[in-house]
Amino acid sequence: MDADPDLFKAIGDATRRIILDELTDRDGQTLFEICSRLTMKHGLASSRQAISQHLAVLEQAGLVHTRRQGRFKFHHIDTGPLRSIVERWPIDREEPDP
Amino acid sequence: MRISITSVLVDDQAKALAFYTEKLGFIKKTDEPAGEARWLTVVSAANPDGVELLLEPDGHPAAGPFKSALVADGIPFTQFAVDDVYAEVERLKGLGVEFTQDATDLGPVVTAVFDDTCGNLIQLAAMK
């Protein structure tokens, strides 16, 4: 039984990976900023609704959290769930045996 | 046909005039009584004969939900051009202006987004 279907689904899409890249570049973005970056920097013509749905998938997987600040809503990246990947398939070369 | 005036919907004209002149640096062009409100426009100090910005009351019942829906998603209502977005962001932050998007290099353009305190987000832009 796969423990992380939401996680693998979330990172299995190129647009969602670019959203994570852009949130890594600067954490805490409005929907407008994310859409602007995808359009202007990556030439992605996705609609605002489509980006909202991508963000919902990322949020479902725990990779994005939203924070309301007054009248504004910001999206934050959380790479914590990715730890389960390297725990499941450890990367030995990063910690070589003495 | 040409564009002589564009408008921004503000929740309080006096507050808007103060913000748009004292913080943003526009200058008042026209201020005439107009029914319950004022016909109140500002222009760029760099281009006083250019396009006027009408600070228009947002009293229509549809305006509130429209404005708050844009703000929630971080969408600017309109955009102003500056020479250097990074410098302008620093200047405005020094005056207490709140930004929802810091200066961001988007390739052909650098943009930032701030709160005009009158219910709108405004984008700053400089083409490269």
All residues of chain B having their beta carbon less than 8 Å from the beta carbon of residue A74 are 100
pLDDT in tens, A14-54: 999 999 999 999 999 999 999 999 999 999 989 999 999 99
At B54 the pLDDT is 98
Cβ neighbourhood burial of B36 (10 Å; 0-12, 13-18, 19+): exposed
Structure ipTM: 0.91
| Nearest-neighbour CA in chain B from A57: distance (Å) | 17
Which pLDDT score, from 0 to 100, does residue B26 have? 98
Q: Does B75 touch chain A (CB under 8 A)?
A: yes
| Mutate: best of A71, A74, A75, partner B, most B CBs <10 A | A71
A residues 32-71 lying closer than 8 A (beta carbon) to B: 32-33, 36-37, 40-41, 48, 71
Decide if B110 touches A, using CB distance below 8 A.
Answer: no
d(CA B119, CA B68): 7
Q: Which residues contact B104 (CB under 8 A, 6 or more apart)?
A: A26, A33, A36, A37, B110, B111, B112
**In whole angstroms, how far apart are CA A56 and each of A32, A75, B67, B88?**
15, 11, 23, 34
Find out whether B7 and B120 touch, Cβ atoms under 8 Å. no
Contact between chains at A32 and B104 (C-beta distance less than 8 A)? no
Is pLDDT of A87 > 60?
yes
**Mean pLDDT computed over B52-74:** 97
- Residue contact A33–B113, C-beta within 8 A: yes
Does the pLDDT at position B31 exceed 80?
A: yes
By the 8 A CB rule, do B57 and B40 touch? no
B72 interface with A at CB cutoff 8 Å: yes
Min Cα–Cα distance to chain A from B77, Å: 11
Among B16, B66, B12, B78, residue whose Cα is nearest residue B41? B16
Q: To the nearest whole percent, how much of chain B has pLDDT over 90?
A: 99
Reading the block at residue B79, the tokens are 């955009």
Percent of chain A past pLDDT 90, that is, above it, reads: 84
- Which pLDDT value is given to residue A98? 61
> What values do phi and psi take at B97, rounded to 5?
-75, 135
pLDDT tens profile B35-49: 989 999 999 999 999
Q: What is the mean pLDDT of residues B104-117?
A: 97
Give me the pLDDT at residue A3, please.
63
- The residue among B37, B19, B11, B15 whose CA lies nearest residue B80 is B19
DSSP codes, B103-119: EEE-SSEEEEEEE-SSS
